[in-house]
Structure 1
Amino acid sequence: MSHILRKRSTRIALAATAGLLTATLGFFAWQSFYPVQAASGWDVEVLHRDVTKAASLLPQADGSLLVSRELDDGRGSILRITAEGDRVVVIDNLSKPDGMVAAQGGWVFSQEGGFAPVSLARDGQVTRLFDGESVQGLWNDGEHLYAIEDRKGNGRLMRYDWRSGQLDVLRSGLTETEGLTRCSDGRLLYTEKANGKVRALSDDGRDPVVVDGLRNPTFLFCDQRGLWISEDNTHRARLLRIDADGSRQTVLSFLKAPQSIVADGKGGYLLAEGGRNRVLHLTPPLERNTAQRD
C-alpha cells in the first residue's frame, strides 16, 4: 500500500511541476506576443519589419530612414531604408551602434560595445571625433555635441566643441546613463536606467531629478507635446509622455525593448522596437482624424 501511495504522490508532483512549467512558459509567451496597445485616440502600426535589434532612428530629407542595428562584436551596422522600402547598409563592422544625431551636414553615431570612437558620417566619409567607452546617447546643438556613456559607476557626460575639437567631461562617476536630450526650456536631460530617474544637468552640479519611478528608462525625446521616455524592458515596456505640468501618460504599452523615438516630420512619431526587430509608426489623435477627413 505504501508503495502505491508513493507512486501516486510522485505522479501528482510531476503533474504539478509540468502544469507550473506550462503556465510559466505560457505567461512569457503571452508577454512576448501580446500586441502593442495604444492610448485612446492614438494609432500605432508596424512601418518596417525584420530590422534586427533596431535601436536609433534618424529620418533623412529625401524620405529615407537611417536605423542603427545594435549587434555586438563588429556585427552591428547602420541601415538606410529608402522611401520605397529598399534597404542598403551604409556603415558596417560596428559594435552595438546606438545613438545617432544630425550634425555638420551629416550625422554622428556612437557605439555602446566597449571602447570605440564617436564618429561623423558625411558625404560618404566617416571621421573619428573622439573616443569613449559604451557611448549611447547623443545630442547636438550646433556648437557642441554631447555624449553620455552607459557604464556602471564610471560613466561620463561629455561635451565636444565643434570649432576647437576640445572634449570636456561635464560629469563622471555615472551609472547606466543612456538617454540624452534637450528640451525647449533649455534643460539638458539624461536618464539613470537602473534608478528609474531622469535628471537635468545643472550649473551647481547637483542635477535634480525631474522624473522618478520609471522602469529602466532609456531614450529621451522632447517636443511641443512634452518629454517622451521609452522603457528598455524585455516585457511589458512602455512609451511614456510627460506633460509640462508633470502629468504622465502611457501612450504605448506591451512593448518589447523599445529604443529611440523621433518625430516623423509629418506630425507623428517613429519608434524603434528592438525586442521585436521592427520600427513602429505612431499617429496622434488630431493628425489621424485630419488624415481621415482628407
Structure 2
Amino acid sequence: MNSTGSMNRALRAGLSLFGLLGAATLGFFAWQSFYPVSAAAGWSVQTVHRDVPKAASLMPLPDGSLMVSQELNDAKGSIVRIHPDGTREVVVANLSKPDGMFATHGGWVFSQETGNAPVSFLKDGVVTELFRGENVQGLWVEGDDLYAIEDRKENGRLMRYRWSDQSLTVMRDQLNEGESIARCTDGRMLYTEKKKGVIRELTDDHSDPVVVAGLNKPTFLMCDERGLWVNEDSTHRARLLLIDRQGRQQTILSFLKAPQSIVRIGDGTYLLAEGGRDRVLKLVSQPLTLASDGVKH
C-alpha cells in the first residue's frame, strides 16, 4: 500500500514538473513572439502597416504608395500596393513565395522562392517570364544586367540575366543559402550565405572574400552612406545591424521576428518588412540635440 502510494505521489510530481516545464516553454516562446522591438539610442521605430502576411520585399513608389511582396506558399502569395490612404490593391496574385522585387525598365522584376519558379517582369499589368531558377530570392539590377541568387542548401547559384539578348550566365554555384545581393556605395557587390553566417564580395577573380562573418542568418542587404544594413532572418530575437565603413557593427533594432528587406524612403527614414509578425515598420533617425551643458544627446 505504501509502495503504491509512493509511486502515485512520484507520478503526480513528475506530471506536475512536466506541466510546469511545458508552461515555461510556451511562456518563453510567447515572450519571444510578443516582446516589443527595441531601437538603439538615436533611433525610433513604429508600425506603419499591419496584417501584411509574410511581408518580404518593399518598394516605395513616387506617389507615396508601397509595393509589398507577401511571401505565402502554394499560390497564396501576392504582390500588393498599399496606397497612401491605406487602401490595398492586389497587383499580382496566385504566386508561390514571392520574395525579391526590383524596379527596372519601367516596371518591376520579382522572384518566387520555390522550386523551378520563374523570375518575372511586370509592366503595365502584364507579367512576362524571364527565366527560371530554384528558390530564387534576392534580385539586383544594373543597366542591362539582372542578378538573381538562389536560397538553396549547398547547391545555390548566383546568376546574371542580360536584358539585351536574354542570355543567362551562372556566375557562382555551390552556394549555401544565398539570400541577397546588393551593390554598395563604395562599388563592392556583396551577397549573403545565410547558413554560413557570412557576407561575401563578388570579385572578378572569383575569390569572393568574406567581408563579414559570425552573423546569425544574414538575409537582405542594403547600402547607403551610413554603411551596410543587414537583417537577420531568425524567428526569435533577430536584429537589424548597421556596419560602417570601418567595419564597426551596431545593433539598430533588437527582438525582431524574421525581418526581411529594408529600404530607405527619406533622409534618416527607412521601412523594414517584419515577415514574422506580418507588418511593416518605420525606422527614423532622431536628430541630436545640444543640451545647455554643450553635450549632444
Gaps of 5+ in 1: 290-294
Q: Secondary structure at the match of 1:179?
A: strand
- Contact map agreement 2:77 2:93 (CA 8 A) in 1: yes
Write out aligned runs for 1:154-173 (5 A): 154-173=155-174
Q: Secondary structure at the match of 1:178?
A: strand
Residue 266 of structure 1: CA displacement? 4.5
Residue 84 of structure 1: CA displacement? 0.9
Aligned equivalents of 2:261, 2:56: Cα separation in 1 = 6
Aligned equivalents of 1:60, 1:137: Cα separation in 2 = 19
Write out aligned runs for 1:144-159 (5 A): 144-159=145-160
1:100 aligned residue = 101
Residue 105 of structure 1: CA displacement? 1.2
Aligned equivalents of 2:218, 2:186: Cα separation in 1 = 21
Residue 173 of structure 1: CA displacement? 1.4
- Contact map agreement 2:197 2:217 (CA 8 A) in 1: yes
1:56 aligned residue = 57
Residue 107 of structure 1: CA displacement? 1.1
Which is worse superposed, 5-14 or 149-158? 5-14
Which is worse superposed, 120-129 or 216-225? 120-129
- Contact map agreement 1:43 1:288 (CA 8 A) in 2: no
Q: Secondary structure at the match of 1:272?
A: strand
Runs of 4+ in structure 1 over 4 Å off: none
Residue 265 of structure 1: CA displacement? 3.0
- Contact map agreement 2:235 2:257 (CA 8 A) in 1: yes
Aligned equivalents of 1:24, 1:150: Cα separation in 2 = 31
Residue 164 of structure 1: CA displacement? 2.1
**CA deviation vs aligned residue, 1:178-214 (integer Å, no higher than 9, x gap):** 0111101211111111110000001111110001111
Q: Secondary structure at the match of 2:179?
A: coil
Aligned equivalents of 1:71, 1:168: Cα separation in 2 = 29
- Contact map agreement 1:267 1:287 (CA 8 A) in 2: no
Aligned equivalents of 2:220, 2:227: Cα separation in 1 = 14
Aligned equivalents of 2:163, 2:15: Cα separation in 1 = 66
**CA deviation vs aligned residue, 1:51-75 (integer Å, no higher than 9, x gap):** 0010000001111100000011111
Residue 123 (1) aligns with residue 152 (2): no
Aligned equivalents of 1:97, 1:288: Cα separation in 2 = 42
Write out aligned runs for 1:173-252 (5 A): 173-252=174-253
Aligned equivalents of 1:58, 1:283: Cα separation in 2 = 17
Residue 163 of structure 1: CA displacement? 1.9
The count of corresponding residues between Structure 1 and Structure 2 is 289
Q: Secondary structure at the match of 1:50?
A: coil
**CA deviation vs aligned residue, 1:91-133 (integer Å, no higher than 9, x gap):** 0111100000111111110010111111111122212211111
- Contact map agreement 1:138 1:180 (CA 8 A) in 2: yes
**CA deviation vs aligned residue, 1:244-263 (integer Å, no higher than 9, x gap):** 00000010010010000001
- Contact map agreement 2:42 2:288 (CA 8 A) in 1: no
For normalisation by structure 2, the TM-score amounts to 0.94
Residue 287 of structure 1: CA displacement? 8.8
User: What one-letter code is carried by the residue in structure 1 that aligns with 2:102?
Assistant: V
